[in-house]
Structure 1
Amino acid sequence: MRKKKWTVVNQTHGFTLIEVLLSIMILSAVTTGMFMFFTNAMKYTTYNQGKTVAINIARGVLNYMERLDFENVKQYMQTEMDNRKEPFVKIDASSCHAPLFDDETVCRALLRPTINNVVYDENRIQVWLVPYNGEKWTELKNNPPLSLPEKLKMKIHSETSENSDSRLQNYLIRVYVTVRWGENDEDVEVLEGVIANETIR
């Protein structure tokens, strides 16, 4: 019988510690990148959801305001402007008892809704009535009150029409609806419309 020669080969099968550490580092970098991507996507989705809800609320409120009786709104606006000495009238959910609104329940449902467990109260939804009056418009544009949201001030300031035709105040009332949907002051959506006299609707 022949003797077999056994040779010892100094080969190892498997990974070295450096290879394992390197693969863990690469996996960590990829995982962190994916995590950041999904986190940013979630923030962006939440941001857009809030903005979309705000725009839809503002559209509903604007639609409701545009259907109100022009003469009632004009009379209410004139009385409030005379009492407050301001070139505009601010309406929110606390104003729903005013004679301007036929149904207080509908008014509260529009101006104080709860959507996605967020209560859009008086601090979040406001309606601003501005007459088509050149003098009042200039006053509002040049010296906007502190109570106006910043985005509304910018919108009014960027308006090019001067409302100089005094006949317009007999037929139109400008309406701005602001809805704050986030915690920051710039998280505000502004929609603009008009309440028109029934004779030109």
Structure 2
Amino acid sequence: MKYIKIVKNDRGFTLIELLVSITILGIVLLSFMNFFLQSSTYTNANQKKTVGVNVARNVLMFMEKQNFLEIRNYFHDVNTGDKSSEADFLTLLICDEKYKLFSDSSTESEINNTCPKKKNITINGLEYEAAIFSEEVSTPGEMDYYIPITVKVRWNINDREYSTTVDGKIKSEDIR
């Protein structure tokens, strides 16, 4: 009998009950909205990193198509020369809608003379800088057959620098 009286009660909710329930609902929804905001930010950052990895893979594939002897001679001189191998690298830029390699010893004026309309790799409005490094080999004879390289790709978002690397090997045509 009491149950029927509660159901038939026509008094409704008080203003305080409504405000408390709206406040609790707002707190719960706010926490869920924060979760979606964080996941969106994380997904966006991972998307850019995935593009960076794909750019590095593309650069690695481009390097595999280059003349093995020229690349070997450049990196062999770097690894056996007086300069530190950490400072010597190749930079890949887009010049006349094609990839073009420049050494780190190239001056800005030399690059501008060779390619006046140079630009970095741009995907979805974001510029990616690609640099190619050679790793040290245990014996110098190893570079006769393959060159271990690392492609480092960097990009900036909101004045913060991000980077990713991909390791690979360029094989000589003699062992293909």
TM-score by length of 1: 0.63
What is the letter of the counterpart of residue 179 of structure 1? Answer: V
Separation in 1, partners of 2:69, 2:43: 43
| CA distance, structure 1, for counterparts of residue 64 and residue 136 of structure 2 | 14
**8 A Cα contact 2:148 2:170, kept in partner:** yes
Equivalent position of 2:39 in the other structure: 41
TM superposition outliers: structure 1 runs of 4+ over 3 Å: 78-84, 181-185
CA RMSD of aligned residues (A): 2.9
Which residue identity does 2:121 align to in structure 1? P
Shift of 1:177: 0.6
CA shift for structure 1 position 106: 2.5
User: Does the 8 Å CA contact 2:53/2:164 hold for their aligned counterparts?
Assistant: yes
Count of paired positions: 148
Q: Which residue of 2 aligns with 1:54?
A: 52
Listed as ranges, the gaps of 5+ residues in structure 2 are 1-8, 102-118
Counting only pairs closer than 5 Å after superposition, residues 52-91 of structure 1 correspond to structure 2 as 52-79=50-77, 85-88=83-86, 89-91=88-90
Offset at residue 54 of structure 1 (A): 0.7
CA distance in 1, matches of 2:32, 2:127: 34
Residue 182 of structure 1: CA displacement? 5.0
Q: Return the alpha-carbon distance in structure 1 between the equivalents of residues 52 and 147 of structure 2.
A: 23
Structure 1 Cα separation of the partners of residues 97 and 38 of structure 2? 41
Q: 1:34 and 1:190 mapped to 2: Cα distance?
A: 35
Aligned to 2:4: none
1:29-83 superposed Cα distances (whole Å, 9 cap, x missing partner) = 1220221121012012102101110111011001111221111112223445677
Structure number with greater Rg is 1
Assess, with a 3 A threshold, how the Cα gap between structure 1 residues 67 and 131 changes in structure 2: closer, same or farther.
farther
| TM-score (ref. length: structure 2) | 0.71
Distance in 2 separating the partners of 1:46 and 1:52: 10
The higher relative CO (CA closer than 8 Å, separation ≥ 6) is in 1
* Residue matched to 1:92: 91
Higher strand share: 2
Distance change (3 Å), C-alpha of 1:56 and 1:38: same
1:1-201 residue pairs with structure 2 within 5 A?
13-79=11-77, 85-88=83-86, 89-93=88-92, 105-107=98-100, 112-120=120-128, 124-132=129-137, 163=138, 165-183=139-157, 184=160, 187-201=162-176
Aligned residues of 1:176 and 1:193 also touching (Cα < 8 A): yes
Q: Which runs of 5+ in 1 are unaligned?
A: 1-10, 98-102, 133-162
Q: Partners in 2 of 1:54 and 1:116 — Cα distance?
A: 11
Query: Once the 2 structures are TM-superposed, how far is the Cα of residue 167 of structure 1 from its aligned partner?
Result: 2.3
